[in-house]
């Protein structure tokens, strides 16, 4: 039976496949074997494309043997969050509303991965329509953390993060609206990269918050995340929000330390409300960076405390608008007809049956803040605070190159522990402001802590100005080299 050591990191696997030292088909078989053994418990995947993935692996092996050029991700098994459109299988957003929907097109980021000879191994489960911070709001059942199946993997990219941590893929795509890449990566001991808004095309991503959503990789290392970003980033004329900016080639410079790196440590990030192990991990990271030659700069981000309230006005407002199309007539689940009911009643029943409780909650919040008489008091004011948050980051980045802090205030919590929606929302207190401001951020493993007999991952977050992914990834690699990684989860 294959062991953990047989599952190479993405960059190692691609190099071995491209040189003919390793078979792409055998790499697929190794991943499929792990999915068969472990995913009955973890429930990372909604669909697995075994036959198609094996065929793609055989074709890559044939091209390598014949001396043909292969792409920069040749043979890499990629898991795709199920809110990204794929021609293979269904695109359900883990919702009964889209349970049977098959996309006639493919998301740009998926197209680019396949063009680079990556192999789509399957679609991963998520909190319904990407609304959640735990992986408990999936229509197909709770997703579990491979470090301790009694605990959540984080959300909303729950299946993607858990699959990477358990070795059920080499890398995964997630989406980040308020922390949905970084927070589950933190809970599962992975690297989770949220690119700047506009860096990666949103074409084919089922929209939650259109001014916030961004696609990015979840990987086992900073190098792996940077390889995927190089492939999926760049302008896309089908997405009016994608930036017309060149994509940095990071491969040759990733290992170079950032000379004179200035690391901002916001006072607000070391809160007494955090788990003590989280604050200790941040302090260790600061000390490690300082020992590597960085300068630690104390900064203030007082608007950190209003990020959650700002986000939970803007994001639900945009969700209310985006999800209006799912009415059972144009798109989505349609309730069985009842004699004598009008169209409005059919809409209401279809949406009531198709959407889960958390999605309904956010639609109602969004509809309320956009309604007549409340628009100025809530939505317009939230947009004004959004501008202030962006300006606060701008001022901080005049004094430092990157910001260091926790990704989440606690390690992964037990399934069912956060029954109060507000408590759940506060899990994203350190991630939402990066989405609000459109800057880039990354979660990096920072060791483990023992809780109830299980070793749980800890993580820290680095944030950098918009479109400074090159700087962010080089600084992250500096930190990764001195902090180390936590490896694959001990799921069996």
Residue 268 β-bridge partners:
none
Q: Is 156 considered catalytic here?
A: yes
Distance between CA atoms of residues 77 and 117, nearest Å: 10
Residues 24, 142 contacting (CB under 8 angstroms): no
| Secondary structure letter of residue 140 according to DSSP | T
- Catalytic residue, chosen from 175, 180, 320, 476, is 180
| Secondary structure letter of residue 84 according to DSSP | B
Q: Give the contacts of 357 (CB within 8 A, at least 6 positions apart).
A: 137
- Catalytic residue, chosen from 156, 175, 350, 443, is 156
| Secondary structure letter of residue 369 according to DSSP | H
Closest by CA position to 380, among listed 330, 286, 310, 277: 310
Q: Give the contacts of 239 (CB within 8 A, at least 6 positions apart).
A: 108, 201, 202, 203
3-state DSSP helix/strand/coil % of the chain, to nearest 5 = 45, 15, 40
Q: Which helix (H) or strand (E) element contains residue 298?
A: strand 295-299
Q: Is 221 considered catalytic here?
A: no
Q: Is 69 considered catalytic here?
A: no
Residues 76, 171 contacting (CB under 8 angstroms): yes
Closest by CA position to 424, among listed 74, 186, 185, 131: 131
Closest by CA position to 154, among listed 112, 121, 126: 126
Half-sphere exposure of 413 (CA within 13 A, CB side): 19
Q: Give the contacts of 320 (CB within 8 A, at least 6 positions apart).
A: 362, 363, 365, 366, 367, 370
Q: Which residues are catalytic?
A: 81, 156, 180
């Amino acid at each position: 039976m294959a062991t953990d050591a047989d599952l190479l990191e993405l960059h190692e696997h691609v190099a071995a496949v491209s040189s003919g030292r390793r078979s792409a088909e055998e790499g697929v078989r190794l991943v499929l074997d792990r999915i068969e053994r472990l995913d009955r418990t973890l429930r990372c995947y909604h669909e697995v494309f075994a036959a198609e993935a094996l065929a793609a692996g055989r074709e890559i092996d044939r091209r390598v043997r014949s001396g043909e050029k292969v792409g920069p991700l040749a043979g890499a098994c990629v898991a795709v969050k199920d809110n990204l459109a794929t021609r293979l299988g269904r695109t359900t957003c883990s919702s009964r509303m889209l349970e049977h929907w098959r996309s006639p097109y493919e998301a740009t980021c998926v197209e680019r991965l396949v063009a680079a000879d990556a192999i789509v191994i399957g679609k991963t489960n998520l909190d319904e329509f990407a609304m959640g911070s735990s992986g408990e709001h999936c229509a197909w059942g709770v997703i579990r953390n491979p470090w301790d199946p009694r605990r959540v993997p984080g959300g909303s990219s729950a299946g993607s993060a858990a699959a990477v941590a358990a070795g059920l893929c080499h890398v995964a795509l997630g989406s980040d609206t308020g922390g949905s890449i970084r927070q589950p990566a933190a809970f599962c001991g992975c690297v989770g990269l949220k690119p700047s808004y506009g860096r990666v095309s949103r074409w084919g991503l089922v929209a939650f918050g259109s001014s916030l959503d961004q696609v990015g990789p979840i990987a086992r290392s900073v190098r792996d995340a940077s390889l995927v970003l190089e492939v999926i980033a760049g302008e896309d004329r089908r997405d009016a929000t994608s930036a017309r900016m060149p994509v940095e080639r990071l491969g040759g410079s990733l290992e170079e330390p950032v000379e004179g790196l200035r690391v901002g440590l916001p006072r607000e990030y070391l809160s007494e409300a955090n788990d003590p192990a989280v604050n200790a991990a941040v302090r260790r990271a600061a000390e490690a960076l300082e020992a590597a030659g960085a300068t630690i700069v104390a900064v203030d981000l007082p608007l950190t405390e209003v990020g959650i309230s700002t986000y939970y006005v803007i994001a639900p407002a945009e969700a209310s608008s985006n999800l209006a199309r799912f009415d059972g007539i144009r798109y989505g689940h349609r309730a069985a007809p009842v004699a004598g009911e009008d169209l409005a009643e059919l809409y209401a029943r279809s949406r009531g049956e198709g959407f889960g409780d958390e999605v309904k909650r956010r639609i109602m919040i969004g509809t309320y803040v956009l309604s007549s008489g409340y628009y100025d008091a809530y939505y317009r004011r939230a947009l004004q605070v959004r501008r202030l948050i962006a300006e606060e980051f701008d001022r901080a980045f005049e004094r430092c190159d990157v910001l260091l802090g926790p990704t989440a205030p606690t390690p992964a919590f037990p399934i069912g522990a956060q029954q109060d929606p507000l408590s759940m929302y506060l899990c994203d207190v350190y991630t939402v402001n990066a989405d609000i401001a459109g800057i880039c951020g990354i979660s990096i493993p920072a060791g483990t802590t023992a809780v109830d007999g299980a070793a749980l991952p800890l993580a820290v977050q680095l944030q950098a100005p918009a479109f400074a992914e090159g700087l962010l990834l080089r600084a992250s690699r500096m930190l990764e080299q001195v902090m180390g990684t936590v490896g694959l989860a001990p799921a069996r």
